[in-house]
């Protein structure tokens, strides 16, 4: 596997988890 593909995959996972954490934190504030 090439390094740029691994980096893109890691960034994608971080964005997904960041988005989930953001929506969960917003839902818990209500």
Domain ranges of the chain: 1-30
Q: What is the pLDDT of residue 24?
A: 96
Q: What is the pLDDT of residue 1?
A: 72
Instruction: Kindly report whether the global pTM for this prediction surpasses the value 0.75.
Output: no
Structure tokens given for 25: 């934190």
pLDDT tens, position by position, 1-30: 799 999 999 999 999 999 999 999 999 987
Distance CA 25, CA 28 (A): 5
Structure tokens given for 22: 């953001």
Distance CA 23, CA 18 (A): 9
CB atoms within 10 A of CB 6: 10
């Amino acid at each position: 596997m090439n390094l740029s593909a691994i980096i893109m995959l890691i960034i994608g996972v971080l964005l997904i988890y960041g988005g989930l954490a953001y929506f969960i934190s917003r839902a818990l504030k209500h």
